[in-house]
């Protein structure tokens, strides 16, 4: 698997290796999505939001002695076919400390020259699910705000993908606010929390214990 020499937004350069990502997550009903877009347009940087449609596969690797599995994602843009596949490692998410204003995670992304599915399976990873995320993201300084609709293949074999046969998985949109910063930089976490307050009551951004979610998967 060769490095495609591509620098995705979540890892712009090698200097980001020691950075952590602070974030909060929430959702908004489809009926209120226009209100959310209007508010984001008013409080974010004065640039047009970037659109995306990404195919995303989530793999898990169970390791003896660990209570949680190792998770990686294989992602590919649907609307930019020439863009390379990406492998995203999502580290353990720290949400148990209620004194922290936002959740913390390690997020390492590398672009590769071909579909990494076979490579991951040979390492022992198991494909848990595949979805398509369609939405847009905004920027406010160091903050990135992603709003996405979760889509699923409609009656298609898992090995086949058809972008024209997608159905909404639910009646809401996912919302995430994130910021990259130095480890344990509570200033970035406070910035995320403050911005999240500006979206209430349209979208309520909260800390989520992902370890409990993984235990029930």
Characterize 161-196 residue by residue with b for buried, 16 or more Cβ atoms within 10 angstroms of its Cβ, and e for exposed: eeeeebeeeeebbbbbbbbbbeeebeebbebbbebb
> What domain range is 102 assigned to?
20-215
CA distance 71 to 89: 6
In a domain, 133, yes or no: yes
CA distance 196 to 177: 7
- Label residue 211 by pLDDT band (50, 70, 90): low
| More confident position, 204 or 154 | 204
Average pLDDT value for residue range 3-23: 53
Nearest residue to 9 (alpha-carbon basis) of 112, 137, 193: 137
Q: What percent of the chain has pLDDT over 70?
A: 79
Number of domains making up the chain: 1
Per-residue pLDDT tens digits for 118-132: 999 999 999 998 899
In a domain, 73, yes or no: yes
Q: Are 13 and 122 in contact (CB under 8 A)?
A: no
**pLDDT in the model for residue 108:** 85
In a domain, 5, yes or no: no
In a domain, 41, yes or no: yes
User: CATH code at 192?
Assistant: 2.40.320.10
In a domain, 173, yes or no: yes
Per-residue pLDDT tens digits for 32-82: 999 999 999 999 999 899 999 999 999 999 877 766 788 899 999 999 989
Going through 30-66 in order, the beta strands assigned E by DSSP cover 50-61
Average pLDDT value for residue range 179-206: 88
In a domain, 8, yes or no: no
In a domain, 13, yes or no: no
Q: What are phi and psi of 182, to 5 degrees?
A: -65, 155
In a domain, 153, yes or no: yes
**β 143-153/85-90 pair status:** unpaired
> Per the structure block, which two tokens stand in for 9?
């937004």
């Amino acid at each position: 698997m060769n490095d495609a020499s591509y620098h995705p937004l979540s890892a712009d350069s090698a200097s980001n290796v020691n950075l952590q990502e602070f974030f909060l997550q929430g959702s908004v009903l489809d009926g209120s999505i226009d209100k959310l877009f209007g508010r984001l347009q008013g409080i974010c940087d004065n640039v047009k939001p970037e659109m995306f449609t990404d195919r995303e596969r989530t793999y898990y690797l169970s390791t003896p002695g660990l209570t949680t599995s190792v998770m990686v994602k294989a992602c590919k843009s649907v609307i930019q076919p020439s863009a390379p596949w990406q492998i995203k490692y999502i580290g353990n998410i720290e949400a148990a400390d209620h004194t922290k204003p936002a959740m913390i995670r390690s997020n390492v992304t590398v672009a590769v020259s071909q579909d990494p599915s076979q490579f991951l399976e040979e390492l022992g990873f198991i494909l848990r699910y595949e979805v398509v995320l369609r939405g847009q993201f905004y920027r406010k300084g160091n903050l990135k705000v992603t709003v996405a609709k979760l889509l699923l293949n409609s009656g298609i074999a898992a090995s086949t993908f058809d972008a024209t046969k997608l159905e909404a998985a639910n009646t809401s949109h996912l919302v995430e606010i994130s910021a990259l910063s130095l480890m344990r930089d509570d200033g970035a976490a406070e910035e995320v929390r403050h911005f999240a307050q500006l979206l209430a009551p349209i979208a309520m951004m909260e800390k989520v214990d992902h370890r409990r979610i993984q235990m029930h998967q």
